């Protein structure tokens, strides 16, 4: 890309890019939205907040905030499931090797099965997240990227 002479806009556009990215807007669409803001600011010489409003509110126009929170919740619960599953499986393996290694009075095989089930759920959630993200990306048809 060519140089950007208006460095005072960069903070606004960077923050906008980060916010849209957090809200799961595809990178290509983020680049276009941000570039159009830059283009307008360079030409009009307007103040970013004056012309486009606060970053969060401008981002609302393209991706509602709820998506950000929903995605975060999903990612955190997927992480907890994966971690918990791995913990149970490891505990089960130790239980099989050494009978004194107990956990919540559960027999080792129950820990293994429970852990495997949690990991399977975790894997499913990761797939759902990935497919959902790709589907949303496909729904974003913000034209050609041009140059």
Partner 1 sequence: MDTPSWPAEWLRSALSGAVLSIVSEGETYGYVIAQRLADGGMGVVKGGTLYPLLARLEQDGDVTATWREGTSGPGRKYYALTEAGAARLEAHRRDWAAFTEASTAIIMGTRGTS
Contacts 24+ apart (CB under 8 A), 40-43: 41/6, 41/9, 41/12, 42/5, 42/6, 42/9
Measure the CA–CA gap between 136 and 129, rounded to whole angstroms.
11
Contact region with partner 1 (CB under 8 A), list: 16-24, 42-50, 82-90, 98-106: 42-50
Binder of partner 1 out of 8, 46, 76, 79 (CB under 8 A): 46
The answer to whether 38 contacts partner 1 (rule: CB under 8 A) is yes
- Residue closer to partner 1 by CB (options 43, 99) is 43
Binder of partner 1 out of 39, 73, 124, 133 (CB under 8 A): 39
Measure the CA–CA gap between 53 and 59, rounded to whole angstroms.
10
Cα-to-chain-centroid distance, residue 126: 11
The footprint of partner 1 (CB under 8 A) covers: 1-5, 32-33, 35-44, 46, 50-53, 57-58, 61-62, 140-147
């Amino acid at each position: 890309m060519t140089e950007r002479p208006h460095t005072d806009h960069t903070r606004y556009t960077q923050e906008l890019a980060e916010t849209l990215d957090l809200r799961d807007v595809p990178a290509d669409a983020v680049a276009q939205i941000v570039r159009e803001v830059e283009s307008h600011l360079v030409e009009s010489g307007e103040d970013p907040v004056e012309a486009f409003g606060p970053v969060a509110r401008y981002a609302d126009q393209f991706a509602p905030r709820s998506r950000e929170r929903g995605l975060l919740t999903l990612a955190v619960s997927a992480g907890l499931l994966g971690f918990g599953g791995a913990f149970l499986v490891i505990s089960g393996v130790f239980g099989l090797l050494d009978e004194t290694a107990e956990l919540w009075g559960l027999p080792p095989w129950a820990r293994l099965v429970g852990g495997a089930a949690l990991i399977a759920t975790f894997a499913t959630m990761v797939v759902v997240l990935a497919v959902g993200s790709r589907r949303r990306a496909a729904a974003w048809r913000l034209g050609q990227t041009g140059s």
